[in-house]
């Protein structure tokens, strides 16, 4: 298994290209199940999760083709991939596949909408918490589906097709909002969804579905209105930039000091995280093509944050921000409200010399003046990258193992940081 070795101490200076968003790419790929026509996605990141979902969709009959190499092809630029679900050959998503990636459960929406039936394995727990699927089941029932749980599978049927309705989410869920949007797009009549997630990835999926012929309004607000249509067509859609990758590198620069421009992204995607970074002592500037992040000289100041659905502080940047706070000149509190077990990085950061105590949902981080390198490992994607951020300032070598977590969501991480001056290398074994 690959490991990443970092020798801490260098500032970061230069330019980092930001990839297409993983968490937009996955639902966009799943949307290809809604039509027998070709959905072309541009700016698709090279990530293990994307490859895994290609395999999962293939099981339902989705063919894919990657556009060939072009003149002046930049290996770092996102790929263009064409997805075609001409015929759905299987409406079952088996446990072996769904258990590898939770988001693959979301195929239940398009399968039910197009084929009027789906049998999808329950995804099970994961490292960051229990993550139930009750909101998906309630929402799809509101659209007229009958749903039973049978031998670990959610068995859903909508004889005669789904029917539009009003549904109020009791809790905000990104995945369940994606699924309801996809399902309601092919339902009969109008669906109104209240308390919908407002993440930029929701807006991106709505834009793509509308380009396919759906009639969705209100994306980005808590109320979505979806006028069902008979059929959807193909479309061409460019995946929006990854705001979590943007925030992660912004935090890395705030940690090491230096001056880095994050290319191909936008400050508008992550206002709350960037404002926390500014309070912590970084200078952030919107440029015509990206975001410039600087910290020269001044220290890192403690900032309290509470994770919340968008536009709040993202849970997917909580671990990275905690890494930054380990070097603040005071005491910071981080409250995690989305997932009950998303503090797995705490004990690993402690191995590097961080002083963090946990009480329920709240982590108290007492800043220290130095971190020291050590072997570390993490159990999820964002936790792993928080260890890389800490390693960038730790004295000596930090060896991060279980790099496959990083590869799920960060494209060419070591190359991007290395190009800005970090001493970082992948050790393949």
CB of 369 to ligand EPZ, least distance (A): 30
Q: At what angle do helices 271-280 and 318-325 cross, to 10 degrees?
A: 0
CB of 141 to ligand EPZ, least distance (A): 12
| Catalytic, out of 126, 294, 368, 419 | 126
DSSP 41: E
The correct pick among 86, 166, 171, 355 for binding ligand EPZ (CB under 6 A) is 171
Nearer to ligand EPZ, 204 or 316 (CB): 316
Q: Does 50 bind ligand EPZ (CB under 6 A)?
A: no
End-to-end Cα spacing for the chain? 5
Nearer to ligand EPZ, 204 or 414 (CB): 204
Nearer to ligand EPZ, 181 or 338 (CB): 338
Q: Does 176 bind ligand EPZ (CB under 6 A)?
A: yes
CB of 23 to ligand EPZ, least distance (A): 3
3-state secondary structure 137-178: HHHHHHCCCEEEEECCEEEEECCCCCECCEEECCCCCHHHHH
CB of 381 to ligand EPZ, least distance (A): 5
The first and second tokens of residue 260, run together, are: 């880095």
Q: Does 381 bind ligand EPZ (CB under 6 A)?
A: yes
**How many angstroms from the chain centroid is the CA of residue 5?**
25
**Residues 130-169 contacting ligand EPZ, CB under 6 A:** 131-136
Nearest to 44 by CA among 15, 59, 65: 65
The first and second tokens of residue 32, run together, are: 């290809």
208 is annotated as an active-site residue:
no
Q: Using CA atoms, how far apart are residues 417 and 253, in angstroms rounded to an integer? A: 10
DSSP 100: T
Residues 6 or more apart whose Cβ sits within 8 Å of residue 169: 135, 139, 176, 177, 193, 194, 195, 196
The correct pick among 18, 34, 98, 103 for binding ligand EPZ (CB under 6 A) is 103
* H or E stretch at 185: helix 174-185
The correct pick among 167, 249, 313, 339 for binding ligand EPZ (CB under 6 A) is 339
Nearer to ligand EPZ, 176 or 224 (CB): 176
The first and second tokens of residue 286, run together, are: 């919107």
Instruction: Report the residue closest to ligand EPZ, judged by CB.
Output: 175
Give the residue numbers marked as catalytic: 126
Give the residues lining the site for ligand EPZ (CB under 6 A): 23, 26, 102-103, 129, 131-136, 171, 173-176, 315-316, 338-339, 381-382, 409
């Amino acid at each position: 298994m690959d490991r990443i070795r970092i020798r801490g101490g260098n500032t970061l200076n230069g330019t980092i290209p930001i990839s297409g968003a993983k968490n937009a790419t996955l639902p966009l790929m799943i949307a290809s199940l809604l039509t027998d026509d070709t959905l072309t996605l541009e700016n698709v990141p090279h990530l293990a999760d994307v490859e895994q979902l290609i395999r999962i969709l293939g099981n339902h009959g989705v063919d894919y083709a990657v556009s060939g190499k072009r003149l002046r092809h930049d290996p770092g630029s996102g790929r263009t991939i064409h997805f075609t679900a001409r015929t759905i050959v299987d409406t079952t998503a088996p446990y072996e596949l769904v258990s590898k990636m939770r988001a693959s459960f979301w195929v239940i929406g398009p399968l039910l909408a197009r084929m009027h039936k789906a049998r999808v394995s329950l995804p099970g727990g994961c490292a960051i918490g229990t993550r139930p699927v009750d909101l998906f089941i309630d929402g799809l029932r509101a659209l007229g589906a009958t749903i039973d749980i049978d031998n670990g599978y959610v068995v859903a049927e909508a004889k005669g097709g789904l029917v539009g309705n009003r549904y109020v989410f009791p809790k905000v869920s990104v995945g369940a909002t994606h699924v309801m949007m996809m399902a309601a797009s092919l339902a009969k009549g109008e669906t109104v969804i209240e308390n919908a997630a407002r993440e930029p990835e929701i807006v991106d999926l709505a834009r793509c579905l509308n380009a396919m012929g759906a009639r969705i309004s209100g994306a980005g607000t808590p109320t979505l209105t979806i006028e069902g249509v008979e059929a959807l067509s193909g479309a061409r859609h460019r995946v929006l930039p990854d705001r979590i990758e943007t925030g992660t590198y912004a935090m890395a620069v705030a940690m090491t000091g230096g001056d880095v421009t994050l290319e191909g992204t936008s400050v508008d995607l992550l206002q709350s995280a960037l404002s926390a970074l500014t309070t912590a002592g970084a200078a952030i500037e919107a440029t015509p093509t990206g975001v410039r992040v600087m910290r020269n000289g001044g220290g890192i100041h403690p900032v309290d944050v509470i994770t919340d659905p968008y536009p709040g502080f993202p849970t997917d940047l909580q671990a990275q921000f905690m890494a930054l706070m380990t070097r603040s000149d005071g005491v910071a509190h981080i409250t995690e409200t989305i997932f009950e077990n998303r503090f797995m990085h705490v004990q690993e950061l402690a191995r590097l010399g961080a002083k963090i105590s946990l009480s329920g949902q709240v982590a108290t981080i007492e800043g220290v003046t130095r971190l020291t390198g050590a072997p570390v490992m993490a159990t999820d994607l964002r936790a792993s990258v928080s260890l890389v951020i800490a390693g960038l300032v730790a004295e000596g070598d930090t060896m991060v193992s279980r790099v496959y977590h990083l590869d799920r969501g960060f494209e060419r991480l070591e190359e991007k940081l290395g190009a800005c001056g970090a001493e970082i290398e992948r050790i393949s074994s």
